[in-house]
Amino acid sequence: MRISLHRFLTLLGTLACLALAQGIAQALDPRVDLANLAMIFVLASTLVAFWLPAWASALFALTSVALFNWSFVPPRGSFQVDLSQHALLLGTLLTVCLTVSLLMARLRREASLAARRAREAEQIQQLGDVLRAAQHPQAMTESLDQALGALPSQGTALMLLNNELPITDDPLAAQWQGVVLSPAEQIGLWLCLRDNRAFGAGTGLHSELPAWYLPIRGPQAAWGAALFRLDPLKDPDPDLQRHAQMLCDLLGQALHRHHLERRTAEARAEAEAQKLRSALLAAISHDFRTPLASILGAASSLASQSERLSDNQRRTWLDQIQDETRALTAMADNTLQLVRLEAGQLALRLDWESLEELVGAVLARVRQRDPQRRIRARLEPSLPLIRVDAPLFIQLLENLLDNALKYSPADAGPVDLVVRVAEDTLLLAVKDRGPGIPVADRARIFDMFQRGQGRSACRGSGLGLAVCRAIAQAHGGSLSVRMRGHGGSSFELRLSLQQAPDMLTPAEDVEVSP
């Protein structure tokens, strides 16, 4: 109905232009010759060709020449032509009018095609930019759905595989986007995906279907399929089908690139994990050898020479076994926690804890190994509860204190443990009076297997600070080091505080991302 009305209005406009040209020619008839009157109809044919379609422009040319012959060429009021020059004039007039009409129609068609190509190129560029910026396949699929929805259609839908192509059609094995599909359309999308080729109206394959089924093609295989419903009153447009397929191929290439990036990241993570495992095994084999040898030597001496040893000698050997066993336990704990945190295999057991109790538990354990009681704690009064994994937090604080005691000379002064709150942030600082950290080592002091250069004889595997940083990050905090103005280092933990509920909830398990 809309097409018939448009043609009627076009015909009406053609007749109006013809009547205007006829009126102007009649007004000028007494004052100009026949050739100049013909130019009025040539000009009219040229002007209407700018906006009339080809068929209406040609009709205008034929009608205007016939009207010119009837109205102005002698004998007037008939289609007879008396003189040969009049016949030549009419033939030339008809040829020029038809040529102008056809050329203008062709020019308009090429201009329309060029504008369409420009719009398609702009849409392809915009979709490509969006797909390159998208980080998730769902966002990519939504971008293609919006791009296809901007094209003239009766509705579009997308089917995107979740993982591998199933042996049989399974709606749960794919994501669906767009209009609601009939069972036949769903079967068509699965067929399009498996065959990896387009079919539907005008494609030469299943042309009886009122839609296009377009594969979302990657370099190696299809990742899904798209449905593009067509207007049954219009003939299929091959250029539109080509453009829609190009948009689908853009998504297929983006999904293939995303898949390669994910596989590369997984391979890199696996390589890093293997590298970490190898390094930890090497560290264990190296750093555990010395304390194990000491334990074995002390135990052998006690077993073989127990009767000849004095009580002080036995106590010395037993103390050595305890110290070496404690060192082995600390290294084993640090190694195990670091592997779990780096691999994301550790679930935090978060609960509301009292800082005073946590610090007290740590000080009681550390002071057993520090008979000189060199640790001086200063806690701000009325500290809030913190939501942490208590064993991990204790390990973090114990590692920091052990590290400070290890690298501080006995006569250098106490190690300060300062805890305070500043702007909804908990600040916990362990301050020593040791030699400090060289500038070249500060950037990697929290890396694995990095040890202070000033006390190379100190026992350790270089994992303590790496474990501290991993635990801090797992709790959403940060750990940094700052050089003190009067000498020594200050290791500072910053942790965002949360509002404790009125009724404390049970502990909650939280997965830690690697």
Q: Encode pLDDT of 241-300 as tens digits.
A: 999 999 999 999 999 998 898 899 888 878 877 776 676 666 566 556 667 777 777 788
H/E stretch holding 478: strand 478-483
Is the confidence at residue 160, as pLDDT, over 50? yes
8 A C-beta contact, residue 26 and residue 75: no
Which has more confidence, 354 or 447? 354
pLDDT at 342: 61
Is the confidence at residue 348, as pLDDT, over 70? yes
Q: Per residue in 186-242, pLDDT tens?
A: 999 999 999 999 999 988 899 999 999 999 998 888 999 999 999 888 888 999 999
CA distances 475 to 227, 337, 342, 471, Å, are 47, 14, 14, 6
CA-based torsion, 179, 182, 183, 184: positive or negative: negative
CA-based torsion, 493, 494, 500, 504: positive or negative: negative
pLDDT band at 337 (very low <50, low <70, confident <90, very high): low
**Within 13 Å and on the Cβ side, how many CA atoms surround 491?**
29
- Kindly state the DSSP code that residue 463 receives in the 8-state scheme: -
Q: Would you tell me the crossing angle of helices 137-149 and 238-287 to the nearest 10 degrees?
A: 170
**Within 13 Å and on the Cβ side, how many CA atoms surround 283?**
24
**Residue 305, SS3?**
helix
* End-to-end CA, the chain: 64
CA distances 230 to 106, 192, 396, 499, Å, are 27, 17, 65, 58
Is the confidence at residue 15, as pLDDT, over 80? no
Residue 124 burial (10 A CB sphere; 0-12, 13-18, 19+): middle
8 A C-beta contact, residue 149 and residue 156: yes
CA distance linking residue 282 with residue 284, whole number of Å: 5
CA distance linking residue 13 with residue 288, whole number of Å: 98
Question: Poorest-confidence range of 32-36, 89-93, 392-396, 452-456?
Answer: 452-456
pLDDT at 455: 46
- Which residues, 6 or more positions from 434, have their beta carbon under 8 angstroms from its beta carbon? 404, 407, 408, 409, 412, 454, 487, 488, 489
Q: What average pLDDT does range 330-340 have in this prediction?
A: 66
pLDDT band at 1 (very low <50, low <70, confident <90, very high): very low
Which has more confidence, 343 or 479? 479
Which has more confidence, 340 or 238? 238
CA distance linking residue 334 with residue 338, whole number of Å: 6
Question: Poorest-confidence range of 168-172, 423-427, 456-460, 496-500?
Answer: 456-460
pLDDT at 283: 59
- Which residues, 6 or more positions from 248, have their beta carbon under 8 angstroms from its beta carbon? 144, 214, 215, 216, 217, 226
Which has more confidence, 60 or 344? 60
CA distance linking residue 200 with residue 238, whole number of Å: 11
